[in-house]
């Protein structure tokens, strides 16, 4: 009898140890992920026109679809519509406001996630933020207004802020592709820069192609497509069926 009891206790302990832990994830983003009622802090600007392009509820957003499919819990969605990855001061109005809303100013406010998705770059490219040089330490304020140093600074610090979190950097491979005033070689330089800095810090990229958009933003079908790309990326890492 004692042996049976001991075996039962061991079985329970094994079950407890092998039970998957609850995964919390956070999002750091811009208007692509800033649906009303989902952003934290709630003073962040949101993109108010999602409803007009078929994204009519928070459940329609890609991160909600990922949560529903995986069973993960959204910890924080720190997205700010119109924000840059960099500290670039290139808005005609409210430049200081938007520089404070940059990803590198918000990166320390993501809760306690196990997984982090960073989705951005649209506004930097749209406003022709300088690419800059590859700089991996001792960043100056001027360098943090350019793409390559700002990304490096962000990843360097996020690795320290969230040492146990898996970080994914989502890249819209067709960013501003309909902007005919943007030279395609420059657009490709932005994308190549993002991949290069991610590689330096061993950050996994999720390359997103061909998502459906309306008014430059992912519409309802586009949100589905983004969710599928994310699920493909995390499926092997987290044994998601």
Q: pLDDT tens, 68-81?
A: 999 999 999 999 99
Residue 91's nearest CA partner among 129, 120, 35, 119 is 129
Q: Compute the distance between CA of residue 209 and CA of residue 188 in angstroms, rounded to an integer.
A: 14
Structural domains of the chain, ranges and CATH numbers in brackets: 28-238 (3.40.50.1110)
Q: Compute the distance between CA of residue 185 and CA of residue 188 in angstroms, rounded to an integer.
A: 5
Give the mean pLDDT of 199-209.
97
The residue count of the chain comes to: 241
Q: Compute the distance between CA of residue 70 and CA of residue 53 in angstroms, rounded to an integer.
A: 26
Give the mean pLDDT of 142-151.
95
- 5 pLDDT more than 50: no
The pLDDT value recorded for residue 184 is: 84
C-alpha 119: how far from chain center: 3
Q: Which residues pair with 73 in a beta bridge?
A: 24
Phi, psi dihedrals of residue 13, rounded to the nearest 5°:
-65, -40
């Amino acid at each position: 009898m004692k042996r049976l009891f001991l075996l039962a206790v061991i079985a329970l302990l094994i079950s407890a140890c092998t039970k998957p832990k609850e995964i919390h994830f956070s999002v750091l983003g811009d208007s692509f992920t800033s649906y009303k009622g989902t952003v934290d802090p709630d003073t962040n600007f949101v993109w108010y026109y999602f409803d007009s392009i078929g994204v009519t509820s928070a459940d329609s957003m890609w991160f909600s679809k990922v949560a529903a499919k995986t069973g993960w819990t959204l910890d924080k969605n720190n997205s700010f519509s119109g924000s840059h990855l960099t500290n670039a001061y290139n808005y005609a109005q409210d430049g200081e406001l938007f520089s404070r809303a940059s990803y590198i100013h918000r990166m320390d406010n993501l809760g306690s996630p196990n997984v982090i998705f960073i989705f951005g770059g649209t506004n930097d490219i749209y406003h022709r933020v300088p690419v800059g040089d590859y700089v991996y330490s001792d960043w100056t304020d001027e360098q943090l207004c350019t793409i390559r140093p700002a990304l490096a600074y962000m990843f360097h610090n996020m690795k320290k802020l969230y040492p146990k979190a898996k970080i994914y950097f989502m890249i819209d491979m067709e960013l501003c592709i309909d902007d005919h005033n943007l030279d395609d070689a420059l657009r490709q330089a932005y994308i190549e820069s993002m991949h290069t800095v991610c590689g330096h810090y061993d950050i996994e990229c999720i390359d997103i192609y061909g998502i459906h958009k309306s008014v430059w933003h992912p519409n309802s079908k586009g949100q589905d497509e983004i969710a599928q790309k994310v699920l493909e990326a995390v499926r092997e890492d987290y044994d998601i069926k």
